[in-house]
Chain A
Amino acid sequence: MALQGLEIRRSSAALRGGGTGLRKMPTVAKYIDTSTCIGCKACEVACQEWNDLPLSKTEQTGSYQTQPTMSANYWNLIQFREVEAPEHGLSWLMRKDQCMHCDEPGCLEACPAPGAIVQYVNGIVDVDPERCIGCGLCETGCPFDVPRYAVGTNKMAKCTLCVDRVSVGLEPACIKACPTGCLQFGDKASLLQVAEHRVQQLKEGGFAQAAVYDPKGVGGTGVITILKFGDKPEWYGLPKDPTVPTTVSIWKRVIHPLGFVVMAAAIFGAIGHFMAFGPKKPKDISRETGGEV
């Protein structure tokens, strides 16, 4: 859903974006410092409340974690893990999990529904439920296991990085709720500097492997994460070198464009139909797909 003031940089099942390409905006990012996160879950509640998500039925199964994984109703989940690091002894790692807002989003690549997944010019990756066909292919494209299929509505759901807040100059709800300041929001370039400073501090404090998690395999992410054990992202439930699965890339870069040729033929046919029988098709779709022709 193209929001007022935010142009679309990239759109699923489209050869080019829907915007003018002229208006530039800095890429935004969420900064998560796992070394100062206390796992209080204020971000979880803020996400639920701002996004009007229904309550989930949870049960105590032997963990501080609210539920085993994110769900269609639960877009922001702190993962708790106990790990034993040789030099540091026990660590209780807490990492806020949500959509990573990849610069090259695998979900968007994998999505066959035109405009169902879009990337705005500021880097936020969003789902338009009106266009989502509920096929679930986005799940195959995501190396972070983020998109969730909502059975009741037959739609995919995930963190929107509170694009409705961001587009009017507010920070995402999770950031606003964070009591310790381990979450920050802003333009990615400046936050990377903050992150570098913090990593340096952690290194001096004895965590030689501290690092910023901003994996290049997906073009970098809109969520940059400070890890004390930067060489062990898997300790935090993060893939070490995430990439968009090859099958998805092939679909996107080879088969999908071919499909467009077929689709173009169909559209030409449709135009012929239009000229003969008058308009029928929803207007906005013709702008995005027909516009490619």
Chain B
Amino acid sequence: MASLAATFGRGAMTNGWVDIKNADVVLIMGSNAAENHPCGFKWAIEAKKNRNAKLVSVDPRYTRTSAVSDLYAPLRPGTDIAFLNGIIRYALTTGRFHEEYVRIHTNGPYVINEKYDFKDGLFSGFDASKGEYDKAAWQYEADPKTNAYMVDMEMKHPRCVLQLMKKHVDRYTPEMVERICGTPKDQFLKVADIVTSTGNAQKAGTIMYALGWTQHSTGVQIIRAAATLQLVLGNVGRPGGGVNALRGHSNIQGATDMAGTFEILPGYLKTPAGSLATLAEYLEKGPPTTLNKQAWTSMNYWSNYPKFMVSLLKATWGAKATKENDWGYEWLPKVDGNYSWMYIFDDMYRGTSQRAGGTEPGPEGFITFGMNPVGIGPNSSKMINALAKLKWMVVGENYEIETATFWKAPKQYGGPETSQIKTEVFQLPCSGFAEKDGTFTNSARWMQWKWKAIDPPGLAKTDQEVLARILLAVRALYQKEGGANPEPVLNLDWSYTNPYAPDLGEALKEINGKALADIHDPKDPTKVIKKKGEQLDGFGQLMDDGSTMGGNWLHSGVYGSAGNLAARRNNADPLGLGMFHEWGYSWPANRRIMYNRASADANGKPWDPTRPGIVWNGEKWVGDVPDIKPDSPPGQFGAFIMNPEGVGRLYSPLLNDGPFAEHYEAIEAPVDNLLHPKVTSNPASKKFSTNKDVYGGRDQFPIVATTYRLTEHYHYWTHHTNILNQLQPGFFIEIPEELAKEKGIANGSRARVTSARGAIEGVAMVTRRLYPLNIDGKRVWHIGFPLHWGYSGDPGHIGPLANFLTPSAMDPNTWTPEFKTFLVKLEKVEGVA
């Protein structure tokens, strides 16, 4: 998501599930959509059946998705950037790209400062001692006279983005792609040909990806490569186009929107750093600024940041937030350093906090809801040993998960003896999704209200009730006994009708926002657009003077004067493009295709009249909800309103590991980087250094391994559900036929996989769907196994933790672990049939 935000301005699926049916080409890569998103995958099938769309599957394994594709090509795990850059090169050298789109809707014409350089695997600005880049070396060139962006609309300037990009991808010839990825050249060219067939006004193609891209030490840059490819082909903002991030859970988009990670507040506002003592300082650093005049003026929608932030503070602290106290800004937690959960577990394991030079103690307590860190974290042994150092832990779950029972984990995981563990564990029975109301925000940003089907069983309570009761109990203790830092707890606005079990409809209203005083029309101050107490109809009505509140500006509009729009179920589709504007509510502003201004040319005419996104009718934009000021004529604003440049970024100076995507090998890789052997893996990627953070070499561990999910199961939940256990009863290891033969492993017999972190055993599934790849003359094997099992639950359906084997190596932007490429060895388990 970090990648899409750095390219387009917002971190979410650009189009939507249903819109996939409008595509001419569907490239599925870094995703096994048929396996993991079978319902959404329907729309790829619809495109095939109704538009004769070509479905292309590029994957190390021949998967369920590959089984129904029109073209399948293999590649070695973790080499996706080489493959994608190869397609970009193919498009640019053959002219199969949408040049006019690149000119008006991307930063292709923008000139980059001469400090930018790329040499021997490193971009300029690298500080080897910190393992970090100084992004100041990657900035745009400003015109010395006007201080505006310098652009060359002919895109001929040697330092304009398009030319720099051509130079950057020039090394990725089809031959080089074959040598790095192991994809036979003719197969690569077939894929490149089909994908670039959409590099024009008439055709549109989409890319679907998921965790097969994100879970790499280069994850964000893989997605960057795909996003730039789509910009080059002119496929962003258009029906049937886009970069469609398939989220791994039904509500993970909603979780991210509501600040699921430490560095953001709701609505992707930034968590303040400790150095920013006042709101004014924070607001100065928060929103991106734009250089003035350029080819396009940017709406730079983030300039409304203060309105979003003040409304959030008002929603958080209620009447306690006043102009005099900076709307309670100082009560917000501040972060200096990395508090992603990977780092928290590292602190926990080391028993100390790195933030203060290692002298502060590590966390002593831990509350976990709807998350099973022992299962989902890499390097399970480190996770288990980390939890053993806690004084207490609270787990809110509807099953007894591995995290809650870490103290009795099987010996093989290397945890301490149970008798040595002092952690006090509280397991609170919570409720499943069918046992509570609320919204799901799907990959397509559709907020859909759901109604409780049944009450939670027995003493189980809804999550919101458990959390509310903890808060109110802690608050009562503060009131009685006092304590450190009382204001955030005491001042939190908690004015729900039932404070012990807040109604989620009320919460949604709060998220949407309401007027705290009469709101006047900025154009005509005599007109009142919202009376005090009324729900707002969208983020355009939010104010920065404390007269509005709203828990998440991005969701504003979902519960306005017309009621709960997430609960709408009208499947009318007057445009015939599957937009369904009256079904649920799609943030932002019920817009179904983001950046839809880019679906039209400079004059506002759609590139493809049969699939218009929005159209300028002479007075306003019509079609989808326009992603631009509705009455702004073509030529006034750029299509990417969240970017201060106003255009999509082929070159993005925002990420931590480079403005262009570059192929780096995984932290554990079977070969060296062919392009720059001295800088073989991502120089900015992150690793840990405890005794549990060990990494394996290719001599001892010559085989590449990948983990994944199965359609029959859902994470670590459903091995508690016997009808699904019937469909997939247990753990297995998929092994290529020839490799199995070499190792003497028969189908259905037992095999052992070992990495530098540990070893697990399971049933061998010998298959032709995996096979060796020829990597620059070297034969490289690849195996894989699913991750759904663990040691808790029905003894008939327990299994090894797949993540016992995975390394704690991370992407430098999102700190997502590298689950998709690591090294192992494989053996037959002797003495078992």
Q: Considering the complex, which residues of chain A in the window 23-73 have a beta carbon less than 8 Å from any beta carbon of chain B?
A: 35-42, 44-45, 48-49, 55-64, 66
B732 touches A60 (CB 8 A): yes
Known: A38-B41, A82-B769. A45 touches B49 (CB 8 A): no
Most chain B beta-carbon neighbours within 10 Å: one of A56, A60, A84, A204: A60
A264 to B424, CA, bound (A): 81
A179 touches B41 (CB 8 A): yes
CA distance A106 to B447 in the complex (A): 52
- Closest Cβ of chain A to B790, distance in Å, is 16
State the Cβ distance, A247 to closest chain B Cβ, in Å. 36
CB-CB contacts of A124-135 with B at 8 A, as 1s and 0s? 000000000000
Residues of B within 8 A of A205 (CB): 52, 70
B42, B65, B70, B723: which contacts A45 (Cβ < 8 A)?
A: B723
Given contacts A62-B748, A62-B763, contact A94 B732 (CB under 8 A): no
Nearest chain A residue, comparing its CB with the CB of B764: A62
CA distance A93 to B711 in the complex (A): 16
At the interface, yes or no: A219 with Cβ under 8 Å from chain B? no
Residues of A within 8 A of B41 (CB): 38, 179-180
Provide the residues of chain A in CB contact with B723, threshold 8 Å: 45, 48-49, 55
At the interface, yes or no: B67 with Cβ under 8 Å from chain A? yes
Would A45 and B67 be within 8 Å (CB), given that A62-B747, A62-B766, A180-B42 are in contact?
Answer: no
Nearest Cβ on chain B to A215's Cβ, whole angstroms: 24
A191 lies within 8 A of chain B by Cβ: no
Which residue from chain B places its CB closest to the CB of A39 in the assembled complex?
A: B64
Name the B residues within 8 Å of A204 (CB-CB): 52
Query: Which of A35, A38, A42 sits near B64, CB closer than 8 Å?
Result: A38
- Supposing A48-B723, A179-B38 touch, asked if A38 and B68 sit within 8 A by C-beta, the answer is yes
A30 to B285 CA separation, bound complex (whole angstroms): 62
Please name all residues of chain A whose beta carbon is closer than 8 Å to the beta carbon of B65 when the two chains form the complex.
38
Whether A92 pairs with B38 at a CB distance below 8 angstroms is no
A16 within 8 A of B: no
- The verdict on B520 contacting chain A, using a C-beta distance below 8 Å, is no
Instruction: Say yes or no: A41-B768 contact (C-beta < 8 A), given A56-B726, A60-B728, A60-B730.
Output: no
A245 to chain B, nearest CB (A): 33
Q: At the interface, is chain A mostly helix, strand, loop or mixed?
A: loop
Chain B residues, Cβ within 8 Å of A36: 45, 48-49, 68
Contact between chains at A37 and B68 (CB < 8 Å): yes
A182 within 8 A of B: yes
> Which of A55, A59, A63, A92 has most chain B Cβ within 10 Å?
A92
Residues of B near A58 (CB, < 8 A) are 725-727, 729
A86 to B34, CA, bound (A): 25
Q: Does B767 contact A (CB under 8 A)?
A: yes
A189→B650 CA distance, assembly (Å): 53
A94, B34: Cα distance in complex, Å: 13
Contact yes or no, B64 A182, CB < 8 A: no
A60 x B763 contact (CB < 8 A): yes
Partner of B38, one of A42, A49, A91: A42
Any chain B CB within 8 A of the CB of A275? Answer: no
Q: Kindly state the separation between the CA atoms of A62 and B42 in the bound complex, as whole angstroms.
A: 28
A90 and B59 CA atoms in complex are apart in Å by 14
Interface residues of B in 744-766 (CB under 8 A from A): 747-748, 762-766
Looking at A38, A49, A66, which has the most chain B CB atoms within 10 Å of its CB? Answer: A38
Report the Cα distance A182→B722, complex, angstroms. 26
Shortest Cβ distance from A228 into B: residue: B68
- Say yes or no for A239: interface residue by CB 8 A criterion: no
Chain B, 35-50, contact with A by CB distance < 8 Å: what is the 0/1 string? 1001101100110110
Chain B residues within an 8 Å CB radius of A38: 34-35, 38, 41, 64-65, 67-68, 711
B763 touches A179 (CB 8 A): no
Asked if A181 is an interface residue, CB under 8 A from chain B, the answer is yes
A82 touches B727 (CB 8 A): no
The answer to whether residues A181 and B42 also contact, given A45-B723, A90-B62 and a CB cut-off of 8 A, is yes
Query: In the docked arrangement, what's the CA distance between A276 and B210, Å?
Result: 81
Query: Could you tell me if B766 and A41 are in contact, using CB atoms closer than 8 angstroms?
Result: no
B769 touches A92 (CB 8 A): yes
Mask for B698-738, Cβ within 8 A of A = 1, else 0?
00000000000001100000000011111111111000000
Complex interface: chain B residues within 8 A of A40 (CB): 34-35, 38, 64, 711-712
Interface residues on A, range: 35 or more
A92 and B748 contacting across the interface, CB-CB below 8 Å: no
Chain A residues near B725 (CB-CB < 8 A): 58
Cross-chain contact B728 with A35 (CB below 8 angstroms): no
Q: Is B48 within 8 A of A61, CB to CB?
A: no
A172 → chain B closest CB, angstroms: 18
**A176 contacts chain B at the CB level, 8 A cutoff:** no
Q: B45 contacts A55, CB within 8 Å?
A: no
Nearest A residue to B54 by beta-carbon distance? Answer: A205
Whether a CB of chain A sits under 8 angstroms from the CB of B66 is yes
Q: In the complex the two chains form, what is the Cα distance from A84 to B769 in whole Å?
A: 11
Residue of B nearest to A78 (CB): B727
Is there contact, CB below 8 Å, between B49 and A201?
A: yes
Determine which of A39, A66, A84 lies in contact with B768 in the assembled complex, contact meaning CB atoms within 8 Å.
A84
In the assembly, what is the distance between CA of A69 and CA of B725, in Å? Answer: 17
A198 at interface, CB cutoff 8 A: yes
Complex Cα distance, B48 from A182, in Å, reads: 12
Nearest B residue to A194 by beta-carbon distance? B49
CA of A45 to CA of B769 in the docked complex: distance in angstroms?
26
- Taking A180-B42, A180-B45 as contacts, is the C-beta distance between A41 and B712 under 8 angstroms? yes
Smallest Cβ distance from B708 to chain A, in angstroms? 13
Q: When the two chains form their complex, are residues B730 and A66 in contact, meaning their CB atoms are under 8 A apart?
A: no
Interface string of B668-692 (1 = CB under 8 A from A): 0000000000000000000000000
User: Taking CB as reference atom, which chain A residue is nearest B767?
Assistant: A82
Contact across chains for A179 and B39 when beta carbons are under 8 A apart? yes
Residues of B within 8 A of A94 (CB): 64, 67
**Residue-wise interface mask of B (17-46) relative to A, using a CB-CB cutoff of 8 A (1 in contact, 0 not):** 000000000000000001100110110011
CA distance A37 to B49 in the complex (A): 13
B501 to chain A, nearest CB (A): 32
The distance in angstroms between the C-alpha atoms of A57 and B762, with both chains bound, is: 18
**A94 CA to B65 CA, complexed, in Å:** 12
Instruction: Report B-chain residues with C-beta under 8 Å of the C-beta of A66.
Output: 726-727
Instruction: Give which listed residue, B68, B731, B732, B768, contacts A90 with CB less than 8 A.
Output: B768
- Chain A hits for B62, CB < 8 A: 90, 92
The interface residues of chain B lying within 8 Å CB-to-CB of A45 are 723-724, 727
Whether the Cβ atoms of A55 and B48 lie closer than 8 Å is: no
Q: How far is the CB of B418 from chain A (nearest CB, A)?
A: 30
Complex CA gap A201/B51 in Å reads 11
Q: Which residue of B lies closest to A88 (CB)?
A: B72
Between A and B, 8 residue pairs with Cβ closer than 8 Å are: A38-B68, A55-B726, A59-B729, A90-B62, A94-B67, A179-B41, A180-B34, A181-B42
Sorted nearest first, the 6 A-B pairs with minimum C-beta distance are: A62-B748, A38-B34, A62-B747, A92-B67, A179-B39, A60-B730
Extra contacts besides A36-B48, A38-B34 (12): CB < 8 Å: A38-B68, A41-B712, A58-B729, A60-B731, A61-B748, A62-B747, A63-B765, A64-B765, A66-B727, A179-B39, A179-B41, A201-B49
Mark A residues whose CB is within 8 Å of B: 35-42, 44-45, 48-49, 55-64, 66, 82, 84, 89-94, 179-182, 198, 201, 204-205
Binding site for A on B (CB under 8 A): 34-35, 38-39, 41-42, 45-46, 48-49, 52, 62, 64-68, 70, 72, 711-712, 722-732, 747-748, 762-769
